[in-house]
């Protein structure tokens, strides 16, 4: 063990533009959300490994002597991580009793933790206590699992000595080097594979790097020097199935190809226009004209998403309530309920924001004022974290 105690955090994520069309090879913009997941790792001498996940009411521990046999035949991979170790994963499922078809949040979180812990510390299992808490709701399409996996990756690799300590005694928070961030991201992607099976890699990349990312045909490109934007994030709390919604869009594509293909092309053009606008904001500063463009693009994309059949009456309510106050909203993620984002201009009056939040809560929604474009994974001092919390 290289540290007695360390703290890390990672942001959630939202899709700004390009939902569903990205499945068909078009451009999407994903962005970090400044609702964060926090992790505290403590070195102990108990001979045990503890995982505490208060958000999902999970508190478990194992003797190191019970975990050690699971590593039989396993090879420690500290840098060149490529694929999941299927044998180790199978043994872990047998050890924990978690079946291959399980999608239970608690089970998947525990499985990802144990896999990463055993893989990182394969040469010498360490007694640690890991506690993770989050501002992100689970299952809302906001990257809660990716933020969790990024935090696990950064903390375990740091404790093992595979990452430097970017934080000096004078700093409250710090980030790792580009190469170290890439390592964090690769390990976090392994955790995402355990939880989701075949993820795109976008969520863990956004939670690692922060800011805005362009995603196109499997290629992920971070956008440099983009502004942080204020938003309202609304969770309609209407459950939906991403799989069913994606399938519905595909059915429409097959039924009306000459109608739907131009819609998807237009959504891709919205993503590109938004990227250009954000670049201009970064270069010349925000202006009323540029905010007008961002608002228009939000409205256009929301109409596109309704045409695709992934809208919902709850999202219509969100758009109506916010537009009545001059604010512009769209769904984010799969649609069919779920979450939406509302852009806030710099000059938006506090009273307008408060009355909007109150009305949305009266509709039965959860609503937060936060920001997008926030920093990615960071290490924190204990003092800074206690102030934040």
Same CATH fold assignment for domains 5-225+374-388 and 229-372 = no
CA distance linking residue 90 with residue 81, whole number of Å? 18
Q: Give the domain ranges of the chain.
A: 5-225+374-388, 229-372
First and final C-alpha spacing in the chain: 27
pLDDT of residue 230: 96
Q: Is residue 203 annotated as part of the catalytic site, yes or no? A: yes
Tokens read off for 302: 């929301």
CATH 3.30.230.10 given to domain 5-225+374-388: yes
CA distance linking residue 76 with residue 59, whole number of Å? 27
The answer to whether residues 211 and 10 touch, using CB atoms and an 8 Å cutoff, is no
pLDDT of residue 118: 95
Q: Is residue 104 annotated as part of the catalytic site, yes or no? A: no
Options 145, 153, 371, 381, the catalytic residue: 145
- Can you give the pLDDT of all 389 residues of the chain as single tens digits? 455 899 999 999 999 999 988 888 899 999 999 999 999 999 999 999 999 999 999 999 999 999 999 998 665 554 445 678 889 999 999 999 999 888 888 999 999 999 999 999 998 999 999 999 999 988 788 999 999 999 999 999 999 999 988 888 888 899 999 999 999 999 999 999 999 888 888 899 999 999 999 999 888 898 877 789 999 999 999 988 888 898 999 999 999 999 999 999 999 999 999 999 999 998 999 999 999 999 999 999 999 999 999 999 999 999 999 999 999 999 998 889 999 999 999 999 999 999 999 999 999 999 999 999 999 999 998 766 655 54
Options 32, 158, 203, 371, the catalytic residue: 203
CA distance linking residue 231 with residue 292, whole number of Å? 15
The answer to whether residues 236 and 338 touch, using CB atoms and an 8 Å cutoff, is yes
Widest CA span in the chain:
66
Can you give the pTM of this predicted structure?
0.90
- Radius of gyration (C-alpha) of the chain in whole angstroms: 21
pLDDT of residue 325: 97
CATH C-level class of 229-372: alpha beta
Tokens read off for 148: 């969790």
């Amino acid at each position: 063990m290289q540290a007695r105690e360390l703290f890390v955090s990672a942001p959630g994520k939202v899709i700004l533009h390009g939902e569903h069309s990205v499945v068909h090879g078009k451009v999407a913009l994903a962005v970090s959300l400044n609702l964060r997941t926090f992790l505290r790792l403590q070195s102990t001498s108990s001979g045990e490994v503890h995982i505490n996940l208060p958000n999902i009411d999970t508190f478990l521990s194992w003797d190191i002597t019970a975990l050690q046999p699971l590593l039989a035949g396993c090879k420690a991979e500290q840098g060149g991580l490529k694929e999941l170790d299927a044998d180790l994963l199978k043994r872990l499922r047998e050890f924990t009793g978690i079946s291959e078809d399980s999608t239970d949040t608690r089970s998947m979180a525990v499985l990802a933790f144990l896999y990463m812990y055993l893989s990182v510390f394969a040469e010498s299992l360490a007694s640690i206590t890991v506690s993770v808490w989050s501002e992100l709701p689970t299952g809302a399409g906001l990257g809660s699992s990716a933020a969790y996996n990024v935090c696990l990756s950064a903390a375990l690799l740091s404790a093992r000595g595979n990452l430097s300590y970017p934080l000096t005694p004078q700093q409250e928070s710090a980030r790792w080097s580009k190469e170290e961030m890439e390592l964090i991201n690769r390990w976090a992607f392994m955790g995402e594979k355990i939880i989701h099976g075949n993820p795109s890699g976008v969520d863990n990349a956004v939670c690692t790097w922060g800011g805005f990312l362009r995603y196109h045909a499997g290629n992920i490109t971070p956008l440099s020097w983009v502004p942080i934007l204020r938003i309202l994030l609304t969770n309609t709390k209407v459950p939906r199935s991403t799989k069913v919604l994606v399938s519905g869009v595909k059915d429409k594509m097959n039924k009306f190809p000459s109608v739907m293909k131009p819609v998807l092309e237009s959504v891709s053009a919205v993503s590109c226009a938004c990227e250009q606008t954000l670049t201009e904001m970064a270069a010349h500063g925000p202006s009323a004209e540029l905010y007008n463009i961002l608002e228009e693009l939000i409205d256009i994309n929301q109409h596109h998403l309704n045409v695709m059949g992934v809208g919902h009456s709850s999202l219509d309510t969100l758009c109506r309530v916010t537009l009545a106050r001059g604010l512009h909203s769209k769904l984010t993620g799969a649609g069919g309920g779920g979450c939406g984002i509302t852009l806030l201009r710099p000059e938006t009056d506090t009273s307008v924001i408060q009355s909007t939040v109150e009305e949305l809560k009266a509709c039965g929604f959860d609503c937060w004022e936060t920001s997008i474009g926030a920093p990615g994974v960071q290490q924190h001092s204990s003092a800074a974290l206690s102030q934040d919390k």
